[in-house]
A and B are shown apart, each in its own frame.
Chain A
Amino acid sequence: MPVITYRQALNDALSEELTRDENVVIMGEEVAEYNGAYKITEGLWKKFGSKRVVDTPISEAGFIGLGVGAAMMGMRPVMELMFWSFAYVAFDQIINNAGCVRYMSGGLINLPLVIRGPANGGTNVGATHSHTPENFLANTPGLKVVCPATPYDAKGLMKTAIRDNDPVCFMENTLLYGDQGEVPEEEYLIPLGVADIKREGADVSLIGHGRAVITALNAAHRLAEEFDISAEVIDLRSIRPLDEETILDSVRKTHRAVLVDENKPFCGVSSQIATLIQEKAFDDLDAPVQRVCSLDAPAIYSPPVEALQLPTVDRIIQKVLAIS
């Protein structure tokens, strides 16, 4: 099976869907002639032309709103946010329009829209460029939120997101763009709302999404090598829909859970998972649910300190040892 990067997997998904459906267009800042700020759309403008791959002004509220209007008319726009941090200036369009129009119209209007881009800290760009707003978005019924961790998932989930008839917030991670992984040549789709067991284990469940999954896998490796603890790693893949059953099945098997989340702890995604486990699997727990989140402050610039602000392997191991 060919080994490609997370970036290339996304690029392939976009290219294949542009080819498959003429209602798909890509829009965003620098996506066309510049080839994408993070090169996710590299070569697409040259291949598909200015009608299908469109450079926008720096105008997130304007062009995301335009995408919502176009989606109402049956197009399938894929809108790139250079950073999900920039979504905040378009939140009215994302929440009030993309998120609510189907409901307020009594189901008369579908919104097959994808909004994508990187959402992460860890790149030393300061607080305004490091937000991970999946908790805000998942808090809006009507939106779907997808966070792939591997090249294989990135491609399969992106193709599904584009074909989905609801608005999907697709959250990538710049620190994963260069990661490599096996991706089949033949077409495949990954359904939204199905978590993936990235590593089987018996003693503790490490549950996360996005790059936190990679950190959790590294922690699981060390737990096995150094402490003889068998950790199961659950990759949520999408926050909404959320695959509750895979989470609960894993906790029922291991009886311990450590949630790993690059989101902030206060009202974050991990808060929701923790609530779910205590509501539906409390009797199966042998220890309190633990969380390893980003430290609860705006993203610090200082590079060595920001690396510690995000969930680290060491912090995961400490939490696991505390409940083992």
Chain B
Amino acid sequence: MLRIRRFEQASLKLYQQGKMGGFLHLYIGQESVAVGTCSLLGPNDHAITAYRDHGHALVVGMSMNECMAELLGKATGCSKGKGGSMHFFAPDKNYWGGHGIVAGQTPLGLGIAYALKYKGLKGCCLTYLGDGAVNQGVFHESLNLAALWNIPVVYVIENNQYSMGTSLARSSAIKACLAERAEAYAMDWDIVNGENLYEVRAKTFDAMERAREKCRPSILEIDTYRYYGHSVADANAKVYRKAEEIEFYKQNHDPIMLWEKRLKDEGVADDALIEKIDNEAKAEAAASVAFAEDSPFPELEDIFTDIYHEVDMGTEAGRTGRHFFND
């Protein structure tokens, strides 16, 4: 969790210095969700998420260097500077992104899980979405297919209470909870307290086992909170919710603070150990900033690679015809 937070804080600083383009959707406040869930991924398990994707990336094992370089649009980034903040990928770590259209990734997670089942692999796909995504049609199409075909997918709704600047109360007709929508599809569902890492892991484990052993899909709604605006460029970040609300969460519901307290109460960790871990995270983040800043940008001609496999590989198929019209 500290690694995510220090990475995000370092990236915020770079953004504010004007070194980054586009959007930066920070994960600060939500760290326990990615840590609690992604840390359970086994060799045949996969994960896919939406645009707030930095936290999951670090937990699945992507390096801060490749992530920070991607944020700066550098050739050393995980996507060679072609994806940006919303599009981190690491297929070798079973991490399939990083998708910028709200709910657009929900059927992709289904397809990944479908392929696992088709190939006879005992695994599942954790498919993350925000609370705003539950109102997209394709999410409901995905739930229908998941339940109809018994696909080993676990939908994880990261409910941070705001779909961009619109609160849950103003965006969702179902007020009580979002996961309850699973009832309509005879799927299992649960509400998870995101502040409690033990609970996050226990309930996620149950859902993953249900997927792996019985091919039954689930929805988990994990309650969480984000400290910053929808993105750093969100001009109304302090308009649609009061500063006192954010401060209240920071003071009383910070997942890292609560986890540190719990570890100390249980005698697992002390201040010295926590400080050591934090210092390592800060140093790693600082090093990633240096790495990213020192890295080169892609060349202009790199615009034309990674569009078609056959062209990149120089196959016979890639040599026929013309793929690009402007040369």
Task: Please report A residues at the B interface, Cβ cutoff 8 Å.
Answer: 25, 51, 56-57, 59, 61-75, 92-93, 96-97, 101-110, 141-142, 144, 160, 164-166, 191-194, 238, 240-244, 272, 276
**Inside 8 A of B248's CB, which chain A residues have their CB?**
none
Name the CB-closest residue of B to A144. Answer: B308
A-B contact pairs, 9 of them (CB 8 A): A66-B145, A69-B108, A70-B112, A97-B108, A105-B87, A108-B92, A109-B91, A166-B308, A243-B322
Q: Tell whether A69 pairs with B306 under 8 Å between CB atoms, given A51-B118, A240-B323.
A: no
Query: Which of A56, A65, A103, A141 is the one whose CB lies under 8 Å from B142?
Result: A65
The reply to whether the CB of B296 lies closer than 8 angstroms to some CB of chain A is no
| Interchain CB contact under 8 A, A191 and B96 | no
In the complex the two chains form, is A104's CB within 8 Å of B82's CB? yes
Residue of B at shortest CB range from A165? B309
Residues of chain A within 8 A of B308, CB atoms compared: 102, 142, 144, 166
Bound CA span A66–B313, Å:
26
- Determine whether the beta carbon of B138 is less than 8 Å from that of A106: no
A68, A160, A241: which has the most chain B beta carbons within 10 Å? A241
Residues of chain B from 309 to 327 with CB closer than 8 A to chain A in the complex:
309-310, 312-313, 316-317, 320-325
Is there a chain A Cβ closer than 8 Å to B137's Cβ?
yes
The answer on a CB contact under 8 Å between B112 and A104 is no
CA gap between A276 and B113 in the complex, in Å:
44
Residue B110 is within 8 A (CB to CB) of chain A in the complex: yes
Contact B310 A166 (CB under 8 A): yes
- Which of B105, B107, B111, B322 is within 8 Å of A61, CB to CB? B107
Interface residues on B, range: 35 or more
- Report how far A144 CA is from B323 CA in the complex, Å: 9
Cα of A317 to Cα of B111 in the assembled complex, Å: 49
- B:169-212 near A, CB below 8 Å: none
Using Cβ atoms and an 8 Å threshold, which residues of chain A touch B142? 62, 65-66
A191 touches B89 (CB 8 A): no
Cβ B98 vs Cβ A102 within 8 A: no
Within 8 Å of chain A (Cβ to Cβ): is B83? yes
Query: Is B306 within 8 A of A103, CB to CB?
Result: yes
**Minimal Cβ-Cβ distance residue in A for B78:** A106
Give Cα A192–Cα B320 distance, bound, in whole angstroms: 7
Task: Check: B79 CB closer than 8 A to any chain A CB.
Answer: yes
Q: In the assembly, what is the distance between CA of A72 and CA of B308, in Å?
A: 14
Given A65-B111, A68-B111, A102-B309: 18 more A-B contacts, CB < 8 Å: A51-B118, A61-B137, A62-B138, A65-B104, A69-B107, A69-B111, A72-B111, A73-B111, A74-B115, A92-B104, A101-B97, A105-B83, A107-B306, A108-B78, A141-B323, A191-B321, A194-B321, A244-B322
Contact residues in A for B324 (Cβ distance below 8 Å): 141
Q: Tell me, in angstroms, the Cα distance from A139 to B294 when the chains sit together.
A: 36
Is there an interface contact between A106 and B321, defined as CB atoms closer than 8 Å? no
Q: Are B317 and A70 in contact (CB-based, < 8 A)?
A: no
Whether B145 contacts A97 by the Cβ 8 Å rule is no
Residue from the list B84, B87, B113, B307 in contact with A142, Cβ < 8 A? B307
What is the distance, in angstroms, from A258's C-beta to the closest C-beta of chain B?
21
- CB atoms of A73 and B306 under 8 A apart: no
Give every chain B residue within 8 A of A244 (Cβ-Cβ): 321-322
A102 touching B96 in the complex, CB below 8 Å, given contacts A141-B324, A193-B321: no
B77 and A70 form a contact (CB under 8 A): no
Distance in angstroms from A137 CB to nearest chain B CB is 14
Of the candidates B79, B108, B125, B316, the one having the most CB atoms from chain A within 10 angstroms of its own CB is B108
Chain B 135-165 near chain A by CB (<8 Å), digits 1 or 0: 0011001101100100000000000000000
Q: Check if B325 sits within 8 Å of A272, measured CB to CB.
A: yes
Interface residues of B in 36-89 (CB under 8 A from A): 48, 77-84, 87, 89
- Contact check: which of A62, A102, A276 meets B110 at CB < 8 Å? A62
Structural contact, A61 and B141, CB atoms closer than 8 A = yes
With the chains together, A187 CA to B79 CA distance in Å? 39
Return chain A residues, CB-CB under 8 Å to B98: 104-105
Asked if B144 and A97 sit within 8 Å, CB to CB, the answer is no
B109 within 8 A of partner (CB): yes
Interchain CB contact under 8 A, A106 and B79: yes
Query: Which chain A residue shows the least CB distance to B77?
Result: A106
Closest partner residue, chain A, to B145 (CB atom):
A62
**Residue A106 contacts which of B83, B92, B99, B106 (CB distance < 8 angstroms)?**
B83
C-alpha gap A74/B309 in the complex (Å): 13
Tell me the bound Cα distance from A34 to B244 in angstroms.
Answer: 60
Q: Which residue of B lies closest to A138 (CB)?
A: B325
In the complex, the answer to whether A191 meets B317 with C-beta atoms within 8 Å is: yes
Do B323 and A241 touch (CB < 8 A)?
Answer: yes
Residue of B nearest to A242 (CB): B322
Q: Can you name the residue of chain A whose Cβ is closest to the Cβ of B66?
A: A106
Cβ 8 A contact of A164, one of B101, B138, B305, B317: B317
Q: Is B114's beta carbon under 8 Å from chain A? A: yes
Hey, which chain A residues are within 8 Å of B144, CB to CB?
57, 59, 62
